[in-house]
Amino acid sequence: MSAFVKWNYLRKGDIIDLVAPGSGTSEQTLNQIVSFLEGLGLKPRVPKDLLGPELLSSNSDEARARHLIAALHDVHSKAVWCIKNGYGSGRLTSILSKINKPLRPKLFIGGPDSTALHLFINNSWRWPTIYGPTLDRVVSNKITQESLEELFLGIRGKLAAVNFDGLRPLNESAKAPSAISAPIVGGHLSKLSLTIGATWAIKPKNLILFLDEAGSRAHEIDGYLEQLIQSSYLSNAIAIIFGSFVGCTETDGRTIWQPIVERFASALSIPVLSGLQNAGSGLIRIVPFGCEAELTIGAKSRLSIPVGGNSEGTSTSIKVA
């Protein structure tokens, strides 16, 4: 398997392409996003026809794919950042699979609903990506200042690694002291399950798999996890780490997905851990995908992930509680 190729850190004056592979947003929010990025010294670029008449997404598949492909191929911009979550990103991977790989790697930032795009870029092009907040959440004060600091230190090359402490073992293999070094990939459990069987789909061979979820009920989560097992998707994974499960409640308000996840973990021989808080309560931690992570298992389990950019300038590693 070929190594991942790093993207370049952002500097003042760099162009960032804004894309809407899923849902669209209002013109007011879009203007706020542009003003925010300009205030950081960056140059946001928005397609003139970014938003169009489409029932489920920001625009037609063809228009959204055209915007995304142009942004990924443009040699003048340094990053591609999704403006919003929402349905539609997964529909674009069949189009992306037919184009040539861009000549120059660049940073891609997308949230949970862009899981298929993360997996495609990680697997097909060997680019690291950042699983993080969409721009509408950044400008609407839905994440903490601490999370914003971590994000922008990371993409500017001032953060060596993102560290997650206090992970909880979910099976016996995750309790025995050991150290694992491997790239980490993944995303939203429900969105990832839809990619299984695609011609470009990633098989987590010798990889750490990260999974989170939002809005699904226990029986749905159970079905997604069972699909991972029966499809042999996990046959060569090294470890699994669960992130946040936000709003995964039953119609009567109960939260019963935890025993489902624990049962899944007990059926596996590889280490399975939870507690990577990447979403919820305003704390949206970035999770760099396609980067060589260091997972320490035992009494004090810890995950450390390099951000994924080219090493330039002075970097410091910070811990966000």
pLDDT digits (tens, 9 = 90+) for 75-92: 999 999 999 999 999 999
Place of tokens 């899981």: 115
The domain limits of the chain are: 15-155, 160-318
Q: What is the DSSP string of 128-163?
A: -EEE---HHHHHTT-S-HHHHHHHHHHHTT-EEEEE
Question: Does residue 311 have a pLDDT over 60?
Answer: no
Q: What is the pLDDT of residue 282?
A: 60
Tell me phi and psi for residue 224, to 5 degrees.
-65, -45
Q: What is the pLDDT of residue 320?
A: 34
Within this chain, domains 15-155 and 160-318 share the same CATH topology: no
Contact 122, 185 (CB under 8 A): yes
pLDDT digits (tens, 9 = 90+) for 216-241: 999 999 999 999 999 999 988 999 99
Residue 241 to residue 184: CA distance in whole angstroms: 9
pLDDT digits (tens, 9 = 90+) for 257-301: 999 999 999 999 999 999 997 765 566 789 999 999 999 999 899
Instruction: Indicate the pLDDT class of residue 111, thresholds 50, 70 and 90.
Output: very high
3-state secondary structure of 242: strand
Instruction: Compute the chain's Rg from CA coordinates.
Output: 19
Q: What is the pLDDT of residue 280?
A: 58
Which CATH number is correct for 15-155, 3.10.400.10, 3.90.1170.50, 3.40.50.1370, 3.40.50.10740? 3.40.50.10740
Burial class (CB in 10 A: 0-12, 13-18, 19+), 170: buried
Question: Does residue 318 have a pLDDT over 60?
Answer: no
Identify any residues that bridge with 309 across adjacent strands, giving them in sequence order.
7
Q: How far is CA 141 from CA 93, 112, 134, 144, 283, in A?
A: 31, 18, 12, 7, 11
Q: What is the pLDDT of residue 313?
A: 39
Query: Which residues are within 8 A (CB) of 57 and not within 5 positions of it... i.e. 6 or more apart?
Result: 20, 21, 22, 23, 24, 64, 86, 87, 88, 91
Across the chain, what does the average pLDDT equal?
91
Question: Does residue 312 have a pLDDT over 80?
Answer: no
Q: What does DSSP say about strands 291-297 and 159-169: parallel, antiparallel, or unpaired?
A: unpaired
Helix-helix angle 257-266:218-230, to 10 degrees: 20
Q: What is the pLDDT of residue 235?
A: 86
Residue 34 to residue 32: CA distance in whole angstroms: 5
Which CATH number is correct for 160-318, 3.50.30.60, 3.30.420.40, 3.40.640.10, 3.40.50.261? 3.50.30.60
Tell me phi and psi for residue 300, to 5 degrees.
-125, 80
